[in-house]
Structure 1
């Protein structure tokens, strides 16, 4: 599995997770997002045992963020595998799911976490930190854009 950038969906793990979500009806997507984010937020020590990596959790956070008004930069420009029009959620994520995403982001995106420490170059590590900060602002509704889009080709 590879990582090609610091963006939210810039890894094979993230892309595979999106593919898995695309195959589910929307209600099951919500359940899968809740499961993934819940493990990261409430049982982080068991993430590996359950096949979760930081990039997967970050992708789940990104899906939730993309459903919010300030998260539109996360929406894909090209192919949309998700039906109906919602990518991959047709409406804003429920408030409890947004709160869960924020807690999961705090675990996965924390300084010293596996995802944050996994960057080879210092500049990528700094950019990854900016991605986490940007996602947190989207999830809290704080409107401040610093040029980080969280996309796939950072």
Structure 2
């Protein structure tokens, strides 16, 4: 049970942080995006963003939130399935990754509105790699303690 709580907390934190990055850091002050300030009020002044340079600013504002959303989804999959049935966990993690990649492909073809970005796909793979790495560490710590 304790192991699942860790993944729920990781999922919720990464989801809240990515929503804050997506809404607050971009400077949206209207409609749908205004609620992000209420979820996790993190302000990053726009002039600080200019210090990063345009290529890093783009990665921070667009690709990292997508990667964090994938991380949140994968962490929640681990929270739901636990570590007992790794075959099922692997299938669900693969489906999560493929859904992100397919949505990017649909954006490229115009079937889904949005902008295709290779860095989004890289962010999905990095997020999956991070959650698998964390689950392996968590398994080893559990094994040593038990």
State which structure, 1 or 2, has the greater radius of gyration over its C-alpha atoms.
2
> Would the TM-score normalized by the shorter structure come out above 0.5?
no
User: What TM-score comes out, normalization by structure 1 length?
Assistant: 0.29
Higher relative helix content: 2
